[in-house]
Amino acid sequence: MPVTTKQLLQILPNAGANAGVFTPALNTAMGRYQIIGRHRVAAFMAQIGHESGQMRYVHELWGPTPTQAHYEGRVDLGNTAPGDGFRFRGRGLIQITGRANYAECGDALGLDLIGQPELLEQPQWAATSAAWFWSSRGLNTLADVGAFDKITRRINGGQNGAADRRALYVRALQVLA
């Protein structure tokens, strides 16, 4: 089920001109990772919509906030070298975060994301990395059974932004009906 730019703008009205930029990349990535069918696509659009500020941000805005400051030295993210927290901050439409996740994603996509983490800011790789992450975490299966809160936890580690994610999901289901 390819998504049109018009549908994308109905789901993510704040995306503006970025909707047209991302539509082809998203359709290619969703096809590659079997994010097909109304429920999978709606859940995916809702999650990337929230994570990217409706496609306005392909890299995490940096303060650093207290949460971001804790990225530094987080072994569970693979951030073991000084500066890793900032260097491997969230990027792409689903905000791949941490040296370990960049390495895993880079291996899967055939990219040197350790040497060039900013590649995830390009539309093709922002979309493909999001679809790869989705697939690699088994989120199609959760979308098939409507386990939206579980999807949010696998992406975010908790329920950060749950109300926005849920509202985007409901809107996406309506648009894709």
Q: What is the pLDDT of residues 12-60, one digit of tens each?
A: 999 999 999 999 999 999 999 999 999 999 999 999 999 999 999 999 9
Dist CA 128 CA 35 (whole Å): 11
What is the structure's pLDDT at 87?
97
In this prediction, residue 158 has a pLDDT band, given cuts at 50, 70 and 90, of confident
Q: Is 51 a catalytic residue?
A: yes
Query: Any residues with CB less than 8 A from the CB of 67 and at least 6 apart, and which?
Result: none
In this prediction, residue 1 has a pLDDT band, given cuts at 50, 70 and 90, of confident
DSSP one-letter code for 33: T
Mean pLDDT of 59-80: 93
In this prediction, residue 67 has a pLDDT band, given cuts at 50, 70 and 90, of confident
Dist CA 130 CA 32 (whole Å): 12
Mean pLDDT of 150-168: 94
Q: What's the whole-model pTM score?
A: 0.95
Dist CA 138 CA 116 (whole Å): 27
Residue 157 has pLDDT above 90, yes or no: no
Classified by CATH at the fold level, domain 5-175 comes out as: Lysozyme (1.10.530)
Catalytic residue among 51, 60, 118, 121: 51
Of 158, 165, 85, 101, which is closest to residue 133 (Cα–Cα)?
Answer: 101
Write out pLDDT tens, residues 107-148.
999 999 999 999 999 999 999 999 999 999 999 999 999 999
Half-sphere exposure of residue 40: CA atoms within 13 angstroms, side-chain side: 20
Question: Domain boundaries in the chain?
Answer: 5-175
Dist CA 119 CA 105 (whole Å): 11
Mean pLDDT of 148-166: 94
Mean pLDDT of 69-89: 95
